[in-house]
A and B are shown apart, each in its own frame.
Chain A
Amino acid sequence: GIQVEQSPPDLILQEGANSTLRCNFSDSVNNLQWFHQNPWGQLINLFYIPSGTKQNGRLSATTVATERYSLLYISSSQTTDSGVYFCAAVIYNFNKFYFGSGTKLNVKP
């Protein structure tokens, strides 16, 4: 199956700082999503972004499918951004999802 690698595994930020999370995948994909798992375990959809760039408030994401990576940008971080961020990919022509192991973000006040 596809390999999905996320970096960094852990990140500590001061409130107000910006950050970039990276997701590399080993094969061509036709589906790439970013999720936020909050401290209560709930998985929240952030972006469905198989290619291109999207923005939603302080968050934006870019996927460069030809180079097999996606980036999640968090600007002006807040303590509520804390949690684990996952990317998930689906190999082109298949329908199995593969998740990265996540980036654990801790935003300190």
Chain B
Amino acid sequence: EAQVTQNPRYLITVTGKKLTVTCSQNMNHEYMSWYRQDPGLGLRQIYYSMNVEVTDKGDVPEGYKVSRKEKRNFPLILESPSPNQTSLYFCASSPIPSGRANEQYFGPGTRLTVT
């Protein structure tokens, strides 16, 4: 089954404790992206990647890191989480025919709480 998977689905952590949220897709998509969703603000793009070893900042990259060492995986790293990073996080992937991001497919989401 074609899908985007994220782990963990729920995470409660404390300020400053490094964490990683994994994202994997099995559709051989070049484009992968992370978003955060906050009440009243919709979804905002954190980082995206056009292919292996190619990453770019979205609109809200501060406090996050990403890496793209393999085509199927795109982990999101919070080196020192803070309470304002409490949010619902989504990973997505997309093919890029002709070099342009196409239809995105989303993972199930990771609900992160930082206390």
A residues sitting closer than 8 Å to B (CB atoms) are 1, 30-31, 33, 35, 41-43, 45, 48, 86, 88, 90, 95-102
Which B residues are in CB contact (< 8 Å) with A90?
100-101
Q: Is the CB of A48 within 8 A of B59?
A: no
* Nearest opposing residue in chain B for A44, CB measure: B106
Q: Is the CB of A97 within 8 A of B101?
A: yes
The verdict on A33 contacting B103 (CB below 8 Å), with A42-B109, A96-B58, A96-B59 known, is yes
Smallest CB separation, A14 vs chain B (Å)? 27
Bound-state CA distance A41–B37 (Å) is 10
Nearest-Cβ distance from residue B16 to partner chain A, whole angstroms: 27
Residues of B within 8 A of A42 (CB): 106, 108-109
Q: Which residues of A contact B105 (CB under 8 A)?
A: 45
Q: Is there an interface contact between B31 and A95, defined as CB atoms closer than 8 Å?
A: yes
A-B contacts besides A30-B100, A99-B42, 9 pairs, CB < 8 Å: A31-B101, A33-B104, A42-B108, A88-B43, A95-B100, A96-B59, A97-B35, A98-B45, A99-B44
Q: Is B12 engaged at the interface, CB distance under 8 Å to the other chain?
A: no
State the majority secondary structure of interface residues on B.
Answer: strand
Q: Classify chain B: how many residues form its interface, as a range.
A: 20 to 34
Inter-chain CA distance A35–B106, complex, in Å, is 10
Binding site for A on B (CB under 8 A): 31, 33, 35, 40-45, 48, 50, 56, 58-59, 88, 90, 96, 100-106, 108-109, 111
CA separation between A33 and B103, bound complex, in Å? 7
- Of the candidates B45, B103, B108, the one whose C-beta lies within 8 Å of that of A96 is B45
Q: Specify which of A41, A48, A88, A95 lies most central, judged by the most chain B CB atoms within 10 Å of its CB.
A: A95
Kindly list the 3 A-B residue pairs having the minimum CB-CB distance in the complex, ordered from nearest: A48-B103, A43-B106, A99-B43
Q: Which residues of A contact B33 (CB under 8 A)?
A: 97
Q: A43-B106, A95-B50, A96-B58 are in contact. Are A102 and B42 (CB under 8 A)?
A: yes
User: CA A42 – CA B44 in complex, angstroms?
Assistant: 16
